[in-house]
């Protein structure tokens, strides 16, 4: 069995199912060309079990399939985030501090705000 993502006319993933390629090819679940295989074990261009990465990221609802990159790209979390072409993931324009504290992204200041735990 494999995982398949169904994309709409805007190439946005509307559902992900587990199925055989033969089932997808029947057209029972819609146009077979709108079903793109995805790898459950691939994230940020890395196969978590050491295998060959497939389409950069496991598809999820709201992801976009980019046929030029042959990749699933997650929704952009903030307007300022930049697409990493290698991993097809989004990165903030400023690196998160690496000090074991909790931060949240502040889009209005384009900076990381420390989360104060009480």
Q: Say how far apart CA 117 and CA 110 lie, in whole Å.
A: 22
Residue 38: name the closest of 10, 86, 73 by CA: 73
Mean pLDDT across the stretch 88-113?
97
The mean pLDDT value for 83-107 works out to 97
pLDDT tier at 117, thresholds 50, 70, 90: confident
* Count of positions (residues) in the chain: 118
Examine the pLDDT at 118 and tell me if it is beyond 90. Answer: no
Q: Which two tokens stand for residue 8?
A: 């709409």
All residues at 6 or more sequence positions from 49 whose CB lies less than 8 Å from its CB, including other chains: 41
Mean pLDDT of 51-65: 97
The pLDDT value recorded for residue 47 is 97
Position 79 confidence tier, pLDDT thresholds 50, 70, 90: very high
């Amino acid at each position: 069995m494999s995982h398949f993502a169904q994309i709409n006319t805007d190439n946005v993933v509307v559902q992900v199912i587990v199925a055989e390629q033969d089932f997808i090819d029947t057209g029972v679940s819609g146009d077979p060309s709108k079903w793109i295989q995805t790898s459950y074990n691939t994230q940020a261009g890395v196969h978590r079990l050491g295998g060959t990465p497939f389409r950069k990221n496991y598809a999820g609802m709201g992801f976009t399939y980019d046929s030029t990159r042959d990749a699933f790209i997650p929704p952009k979390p903030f307007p300022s985030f930049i697409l990493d072409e290698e991993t097809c993931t989004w990165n903030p324009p400023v690196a998160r501090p690496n000090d074991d504290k909790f931060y949240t992204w502040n889009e209005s200041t384009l900076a990381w705000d420390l989360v104060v735990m009480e």
